[in-house]
Amino acid sequence: MTYAAPALIAADWGTTNFRLFLFGTDGEIIAKHTANIGLKNLGVLTFEQALLSVMKGDFDRPDLPILLSGMVGSRTGWVEAPYQSCPSSLADIAAHLVTAPSDRLKVRIVPGLCASADHEGLLNVMRGEETQLFGLGDGVFVLPGTHSKWAKVEGSVIEGFSSYMTGEMFQVLKRNSILGDLMDNDKDDEEAFKLGVDRAMADKSFLSLVFSVRTEGLFGHIAPESLSSYLSGLLIGSEIRAESIRHGIRPVGIVGDGSLSKLYKRALNHTGFTDVTIHDGDTAAAGGLWAIAQQGKLVL
Amino acid sequence: MTYAAPALIAADWGTTNFRLFLFGTDGEIIAKHTANIGLKNLGVLTFEQALLSVMKGDFDRPDLPILLSGMVGSRTGWVEAPYQSCPSSLADIAAHLVTAPSDRLKVRIVPGLCASADHEGLLNVMRGEETQLFGLGDGVFVLPGTHSKWAKVEGSVIEGFSSYMTGEMFQVLKRNSILGDLMDNDKDDEEAFKLGVDRAMADKSFLSLVFSVRTEGLFGHIAPESLSSYLSGLLIGSEIRAESIRHGIRPVGIVGDGSLSKLYKRALNHTGFTDVTIHDGDTAAAGGLWAIAQQGKLVL
């Protein structure tokens, strides 16, 4: 097996995740690497030290251009790459790459994006997801997670997006509120999940909906091991409800891996979104990094 | 000053609060007492021991009938007084008082209430608030707190109510989520609060609204000391939005004391509820306990 010559090192570098790619001159991925050097785990290492620590083997190429996306470009990252406003094209993003201070490496960082939601003044931000989106093409995408994003890409332009505090809300309610007290031995209960989705689609008040996790448990209508699925359905259903109201039923791409993506697919299918595709998050990130590097002339 | 002869000892006994009243034969309050024996603070004391420990001075009357409302009647209380369904009248409640096991005291406990919200199957519960409501007369009332209630009383019947996890949501988001990180030196900022109320009234997605606390802070649109007011406005506004959609603009009574009631009044006035009255929570509880005791023939 032969590879094109290495041309670019790139990484999706977030608060917890770090995914490193080595690209050949034709955009093929020659090598991949993940490491436990998310922003939360840097300890006393500088960003340059952390990056150098993983540039071994195939990646031992400090001469190559390096492109980074994600929280590494935030105010608390290596260097701030200020948010660009939506609508934003690949060319807009590539024109605003920021050079990180480093004596030994040639590092450019992808800016994050900001967007006003439908209600005036309600601001949304993303860092890293814009790169994944540029690796996917046109469509409506949901990027589930701590702070889920729903974005619309048209003609290779990210038109806008909304944020939902879904994943974090699930964690704090489960861990820190009275709702978690009744949960026990969590299992994936499809029926309880869909009940949650249905109620979120039908009802008007999130603060009332979440209180029902308590009463459903208290009256024994939902078993302790299924309450977590019910809460998850309420949360994901609330997201889908808002998007349905704003933008209607459309083909949707889910970006991400594992069980969370499957839950979103289940909820979307259940609520009438029949055309739903799951995209691998790593592949999307790699595709976007390569596209930005080309557009920004980091590679020929 | 002379008092009617003591006829009843009664208490609102909740998870944290304990408010004790001594009534004369004409319903006048002869003595009041509060103590730190909420359900959370009982330690090794039995309910009987805890109650006896505060029956001193004017309250040293183990011969009198005793009526208790609140979480003391829950599954983890002295004895469970099962939830009664709405609509529920004073007579319904009085017919379902439960006797607590005690060799030394004659104790009856007021049952809690349950109600379906507008969306089928979404259950709501209260314990203690039903007693306050029976002390207030007819109207629409909001009882702000950890789990806020909105209830409608007509012809001395509690027709129904909704619950909102407002107070607890505020605490967990402030203490345990990323939103609290940007807050500092909290002050009461009326403008930020009203902005939050306005946005909650206008927007459709709670999970999107709460994320805006982060972006407003991140972009410096709202100062760190005012973000808590903004979040509070979003939460209280979400409650008012749901009630407005369901039941329209009406005269509203707020039951409770202190700054939280004032915030609710401010938000209600701001959103077009012009006829808003604040009722003292202690007075409401005492009035309800006396009315239930009369109806249940604990007093003549």
Taking only residues 221 to 240 of chain A, the set having a beta carbon closer than 8 angstroms to any beta carbon of chain B reads 221, 235, 238-239
A76 CB within 8 Å of a chain B CB: no
Q: Which residues contact A120 (CB under 8 A, 6 or more apart)?
A: none
From chain A, the residues in CB contact with B169 under 8 A are: 177, 207, 210
Convert the pLDDT of each residue in A133-188 to its tens digit.
999 999 999 999 999 999 999 999 999 999 999 999 999 999 999 999 999 999 99
Most A CBs within 10 A among B207, B230, B246, B247, hence the mutation to make, goes to B207
Place of tokens 């031992």: A60
Domains observed in chain B: 6-136+282-295 (3.30.420.300), 166-279 (3.30.420.310)
B125 and A215 in contact by Cβ < 8 A?
A: yes
Convert the pLDDT of each residue in A62-72 to its tens digit.
999 999 999 99
pLDDT at B4: 84
pLDDT at B123: 87
From chain B, the residues in CB contact with A211 under 8 A are: 124, 147, 163-165
pLDDT at A245: 87
From chain A, the residues in CB contact with B205 under 8 A are: 162, 164, 206, 238-239, 241-242
B210 and A169 in contact by Cβ < 8 A?
A: yes
A104 CB within 8 Å of a chain B CB: no
A159 CB within 8 Å of a chain B CB: no
From chain A, the residues in CB contact with B175 under 8 A are: 176
Convert the pLDDT of each residue in A175-184 to its tens digit.
999 999 999 9
From chain B, the residues in CB contact with A206 under 8 A are: 205-207, 238
Comparing CB atoms, the residue among B172, B208, B245 nearest residue A163 is B208
A168 CB within 8 Å of a chain B CB: yes
Rounded to the nearest angstrom, the minimum Cα separation between B25 and chain A is 38
Residue A69 parent element (H or E): strand A65-69
In chain A, the N- to C-terminal Cα span, in Å, equals 23
Predicted confidence band of residue A74 (pLDDT cuts 50, 70, 90) = very high
CA-based radius of gyration for chain B: 21
A45 CB within 8 Å of a chain B CB: no
Please give the mean pLDDT across all residues of chain A: 94
A204 and B164 in contact by Cβ < 8 A?
A: no
Predicted confidence band of residue A131 (pLDDT cuts 50, 70, 90) = very high
> If you measure CA to CA, which chain A residue comes closest to B161?
A208
A91 CB within 8 Å of a chain B CB: no
B177 and A177 in contact by Cβ < 8 A?
A: no
Comparing CB atoms, the residue among A169, A202, A235 nearest residue B119 is A202
Predicted confidence band of residue A281 (pLDDT cuts 50, 70, 90) = very high
Q: Which residues contact B129 (CB under 8 A, 6 or more apart)?
A: B113, B143, B149, B151, B161, B255
B205 and A162 in contact by Cβ < 8 A?
A: yes
B85 CB within 8 Å of a chain A CB: no
> If you measure CA to CA, which chain B residue comes closest to A168?
B177
Q: Which residues contact A237 (CB under 8 A, 6 or more apart)?
A: A196, A197, A198, A199, A200, A201, A267, A271
Q: Tell me the C-alpha distance between A169 and A163, whole Å.
A: 13
Comparing CB atoms, the residue among B123, B172, B173 nearest residue A216 is B123
Most B CBs within 10 A among A207, A234, A236, A264, hence the mutation to make, goes to A207
pLDDT higher than 70, residue A88: yes
**B154 neighbors B88 (Cβ within 8 angstroms):** no
Tell me the count of A-B CB pairs closer than 8 A: 140
Predicted confidence band of residue A120 (pLDDT cuts 50, 70, 90) = low
Question: Helix, strand or coil for residue A60?
Answer: coil
Q: Which residues contact A57 (CB under 8 A, 6 or more apart)?
A: A31
Report mean pLDDT in 10-residue bins for chain B, 300 residues.
86 95 96 95 95 96 98 96 96 98 97 81 90 96 95 95 96 96 95 96 89 93 97 97 89 93 98 97 97 96
Rounded to the nearest angstrom, the minimum Cα separation between B162 and chain A is 7
Q: Which residues contact B39 (CB under 8 A, 6 or more apart)?
A: B13, B14, B15, B16, B71, B72, B76, B77
- Which tokens sit at A239? 């997201």
> What are the residues facing B8 on neighbouring strands?
B23
B142 CB within 8 Å of a chain A CB: no
> What are the residues facing A84 on neighbouring strands?
A113
CA-based radius of gyration for chain A: 21
Convert the pLDDT of each residue in B221-257 to its tens digit.
999 999 999 999 999 999 999 999 888 899 999 999 8
From chain A, the residues in CB contact with B212 under 8 A are: 122-123
Most A CBs within 10 A among B165, B203, B241, hence the mutation to make, goes to B165
B215 and A173 in contact by Cβ < 8 A?
A: no
pLDDT at A247: 82
B198 CB within 8 Å of a chain A CB: no
- Burial of A250-266, coded b for 16+ CB within 10 Å and e otherwise, reads eebbbbbeeebbebbbb
pLDDT at B300: 83
> If you measure CA to CA, which chain A residue comes closest to B167?
A207
Q: Tell me the C-alpha distance between B152 and A244, whole Å.
A: 32
